Amino acid sequence: TQLLEQSPQFLSIQEGENLTVYCNSSSVFSSLQWYRQEPGEGPVLLVTVVTGGEVKKLKRLTFQFGDARKDSSLHITAAQPGDTGLYLCAGSMNRDDKIIFGKGTRLHILP
């Protein structure tokens, strides 16, 4: 059973379009993290959200943690080819627990 479900699995859109990817669970998480991974490299942390309803912005990326702390979304405005990569969500159910990763959304922005 996958505790963190990410959707869509793949997304290919034109440069300049907006997009949203999702990370969902039936369990409550104490915190969720989003990572981006580029080919041949390890994942790199983008953001951590810890409070239900929290919204964080990182330039054109907006991250939201659901009110019930069971889901999160990543919205990209005016996507650019440099946004291409694998986006992973990860979370822990308790503060001292190890982190669980979703399977990721592979995003491809066409120039």
Residues that bind another protein (CB under 8 A): 30-31, 33, 40-45, 48, 50, 88, 90, 92, 94-99, 101-104
d(CA 96, CA 72): 20
Q: Least Å distance between CB 107 and another protein? A: 15
Give the residue with the Cβ less far from another protein, 55 or 78: 55
Give the residue with the Cβ less far from another protein, 37 or 73: 37
- Report which of 32, 19, 39 is spatially closest to residue 110, judged by C-alpha positions: 19
90, burial (CB in 10 Å: exposed 0-12, middle 13-18, buried 19+): buried
Q: Least Å distance between CB 16 and another protein? A: 29
